[in-house]
Amino acid sequence: MRITLKVNGGTYTREVEGHRTLLRFLREDLGFTGTKEGCGAGECGACTVIMDGKTVNSCMVLALEADGANVETIEGEASAGKLSVIQEAFDRHHAVQCGYCTGGMIMSVRDLLHRNPKPSVEEIKEGIEGNFCRCTGYQQIIEAVLDASGQLGEGPGQVREGRLEHA
Amino acid sequence: MLHEFEYARPATRAELHELLARHGKAAKILAGGTDLLVNIRCGVSKPAIVIDIKKVRDLPVIAWNPKVGLVIGPGATINEVLAHPAVHDHFPLLSECGHDLASYQVRNRATVIGNVVNASPCSDMAPALLCLGAIAIVSSKRGEREVPFSEFFTGVKKTVLLDDEILERIVVPTASAGARGSYHKLKRINGHDLGIVGVALMKKEGVVALGISSAAPTPVLVEGIRETDAVEKAVAAARSATSPISDLRCSKEYREFMIEVFIRRLWAEVK
């Protein structure tokens, strides 16, 4: 079947087979390899993209289901060579180590901040509960989200000295 | 990689029923896909045809009508149900159970009806629907029939649905509106996880009901308890209605122990 969809603002029309997942379609047919496959079963969230304004695990969506949809991936986060506020905060707080989870993680964070611009630590934890990170232990990611949402008054040096305990 | 299958996207209920009648066992219905596509991927399910129902125009979504109740259609996602004002106002137990199901992005796709037709013993929505006296409206080319959820599940991953049928809508009766309730789910981590055991408790007009997951081949409804009874009666009734097993996630004894702990906590918590 032939599908047409938008990815990060660009329009793409392709022939796809019924059993092709949106994840494989994005990676292999369109070359958006920032979206990763981890578990392939909706547990890890490395494949998270935003489809019509909602986060989804792209490993569990068929490409055909995305016909006519507006899809956003990590490749759409930076613009004109400049990192987004969320990406900068991830960089500043060392919320990226191996980087495999980061593409999906940032999609979940973007969606969380869209729904809830000033999330509490508990709300951040819930917002990223579908995204596993095996490197950071999450602390740096939570700090980055607090920073990206303007909830850390001082510079990043302050954060690392235990502000999070009472954040 | 997924094995190959034909993909169909019917536009009307009649087309959907026709496809189900024609393909029967070889067909699988696709709504959220959060169970189906994983099952296809790992080879548990090998449908010849996958029928995507999300573009069917004349199926219900989610609606509250005080004369009928809360109607939940086959495309209604867990997050759509959680966000519905009538669920918030009248059926807090549905919110409690829905909130504990998987992660936010899974809840964006996973449907209430998918969760129950999958008929896993650890279904999170079944305990609430059992307690609230919900009815399954099943349809096919041959017509419609109503099945109370207390009779819907017949075994592990088995329901009363025949090969040409779809669970078209769930009706949570108005009589259950305003019921208080909560759900406790034991899991390994605070984030999303399959339940090791789960207990929902509902109180309404002096009557208490329990819905228990991961403690028998099907989700279990425990009735016949009153608010004026001692909690021990609820614990004893739950023990005789369930038959937990030991598996890689937990022992039988721990499941039995935690069911009792959850009932005692819920009994005190749900005022």
Please report which confidence band the pLDDT of residue A159 belongs to, taking 50, 70 and 90 as the band edges. very low
Q: Which residues in A lie closer than 8 A to residue B83 (C-beta atoms)? A: none
Nearest to A72 by CA among A134, A140, A10: A10
Is residue A51 domain-shared with residue A90, that is, in the same domain? no
Region B80-104: mean pLDDT is 96
**Residue B115: predicted pLDDT:** 97
Is residue A92 domain-shared with residue A52, that is, in the same domain? no
Q: Which of A30, A48, A76 is the last residue before a domain boundary?
A: A76
Judge whether residue A90 has pLDDT over 60. Answer: yes
Alpha carbon of residue A37 to chain centroid = 13
Return the axis-axis angle of helices A139-148 and A85-92, rounded to nearest 10°.
140
| Domain assignment of residue A49, yes or no | yes
Region B162-179: mean pLDDT is 98
**A144 CA to chain B: closest CA distance, Å?**
19
Q: Which residues in B lie closer than 8 A to residue A37 (C-beta atoms)? A: none
**Interface residue of B51, B105, B109, B188 to substitute, partner A, most A CBs within 10 Å:** B105
Please report which confidence band the pLDDT of residue B193 belongs to, taking 50, 70 and 90 as the band edges. confident
- In 10 A of CB B240, how many CB atoms? 8
**Residue B164: predicted pLDDT:** 98
**Sheet containing strand A70-72, strands side by side:** A10-15, A2-7, A70-72, A48-51, A54-57
The pLDDT tens digits of the residues spanning A7-26 come to 999 999 999 999 999 999 99
Please report which confidence band the pLDDT of residue B2 belongs to, taking 50, 70 and 90 as the band edges. confident
Residue spans of the domains in chain B: they are: 6-52, 62-176, 180-269
Is residue A93 domain-shared with residue A127, that is, in the same domain? yes
Write the CATH number for A138: 1.10.150.120
Instruction: Tell which CATH classification among 3.90.400.10, 3.30.465.10, 3.40.50.180, 3.90.740.10 matches the domain B62-176.
Output: 3.30.465.10
Is residue A138 domain-shared with residue A69, that is, in the same domain? no
Q: Which residues in B lie closer than 8 A to residue A19 (C-beta atoms)? A: 1-5, 7, 40
Residue whose structure tokens are 């004369």 = B67
Please report which confidence band the pLDDT of residue B237 belongs to, taking 50, 70 and 90 as the band edges. very high
**Residue A161: predicted pLDDT:** 40
Judge whether residue A163 has pLDDT over 70. Answer: no
| Domain assignment of residue A13, yes or no | yes
| Domain assignment of residue A167, yes or no | no
* B88 in A contact zone (CB under 8 Å): no
- Domain B6-52: state its class: alpha beta
Is residue A105 domain-shared with residue A66, that is, in the same domain? no
Domain tally for chain A?
2
Mean pLDDT of chain A: 92
CATH architecture of B180-269: 2-Layer Sandwich (3.30)
The pLDDT tens digits of the residues spanning B20-61 come to 999 999 999 999 999 999 999 999 999 999 999 999 999 999
Chain A, chain B: beta-carbon pairs less than 8 Å apart: 89
Write the CATH number for A30: 3.10.20.30
Please report which confidence band the pLDDT of residue A154 belongs to, taking 50, 70 and 90 as the band edges. low
Is residue A89 domain-shared with residue A69, that is, in the same domain? no
Question: A27 is in which domain, residue-wise?
Answer: 2-76
Region B115-120: mean pLDDT is 97
Please state, for a pLDDT cut of 70, what percent of chain B lies above it. Answer: 99
**Sheet containing strand B220-226, strands side by side:** B180-186, B197-204, B207-213, B220-226
Contact B34, B105 (CB under 8 A): no
Is residue A33 domain-shared with residue A72, that is, in the same domain? yes
**Residue B1: predicted pLDDT:** 61
ipTM over 0.85: yes
